[in-house]
Amino acid sequence: MQPWTISPHYLPSEDLIPGADTCFHHLFLPIYSTKQKLKEKLLQAISHNRGFGRFVPIV
């Protein structure tokens, strides 16, 4: 199993969810103000995944 790279991703809004490039094992993690907001957005991203495709933030 290949390790994942986690990169901080500076986005204009905390309403955007994390994204990933699964081919290259890369997680783009927006900077959130609280751990609770991070947890909420990670769960939202996992629950509403769109399958294959490039990273596209969802508002």
Active-site residues: which are they?
23
- Mark residue 41 as left, alpha or beta (left: phi above 0; alpha: psi -120 to 50; beta: remaining): alpha
- Contact, 3 vs 25, CB < 8 A? yes
Residue in 47, 40, 45 with CA at minimum distance from that of residue 58: 45
